Amino acid sequence: MPRFALKIEYHGAPFVGWQRQIDLPSVQGAIEAALAKLEPRVHNIAAAGRTDAGVHALAQVAHCDMENDWTAFRLSEALNYHLKPTPIGIVGCAEVAPDWHARFSALERQYHFRILTRRAPATHQAGLVWQVKHPLDVAAMQAGADRLVGRHDFTTFRSTICQAKSPVKTLDRLNISEVETAQGTEVHFDVRARSFLHNQVRSFVGTLERVGGGSLSPDGVSTALEAKDRAACGPVCPPHGLYLAAVSYEADPFA
């Protein structure tokens, strides 16, 4: 039974998230339904990360097991045909070893977040960015972000329904940059770690937005982290500015 790695791009707006849910539209459910059109049976695919409702992906990675003799090209073409008209695209497909696992073989996940800072309503970017109407001090935000890099107890930045066994994680990178676009100024977050807690990235961004707006100091981020208390976290930002941007493996299966 050959195993295939899938690189998946999707717009998260129509879905309750990645994970399959009964009678609700999910990314996993849509792909498994497409696979059942190719091989009529129950399919169970595994992904590198479970994105929440409204979160997008540029390069989610999952794997599936097939019974028939598919080439990677034929499989991706067939899946893309049967995924229409959902906003899901299989942008990469490769046969991998039978013991390769999209989640457990992953070495690092990279998330990207976009904030659009302008007063006029977002039109073309609606649903793809978090819009705030005031300017942000990116240097102060980066100073606050630097307090979060490394190995910490991230209880403050962890959802109360998080199922992870431990709140202790190592954050490898949290870089913030300002980008001028035709639509206005955007603030971009590049966040990388081997694994994340539920709502961790959105909790970071919501707290750091308060730093950029001047209602919290960079030292306040350290205080919040050290509190190990969810009540010390800033507002959790909305999901539609968040993207699963990349998943790294010891050997890139799509190279």
Catalytic residue annotation: 52
132 burial level (CB within 10 Å; 0-12, 13-18, 19+): middle
If we measure between CA atoms, which residue out of 67, 59, 44 comes closest to residue 89? 59
Q: Say what the alpha-carbon torsion angle 135, 139, 142, 143 is, to the nearest 10 degrees.
A: -120
Give the span between the Cα atoms of 156 and 229, in whole angstroms. Answer: 5
Nearest to 196 by CA among 106, 134, 61: 106
**62 bridge partner residues:** 6, 47
- Whether the CB-CB separation of 191 and 170 falls below 8 Å is answered with no
DSSP 143-205: HHHHTT-EEEE-GGGS-TT---S-SEEEEEEEEEEEEEETTEEEEEEEEEES---TTHHHHHH
CA separation for the pair 71, 2 (Å, rounded)? 10
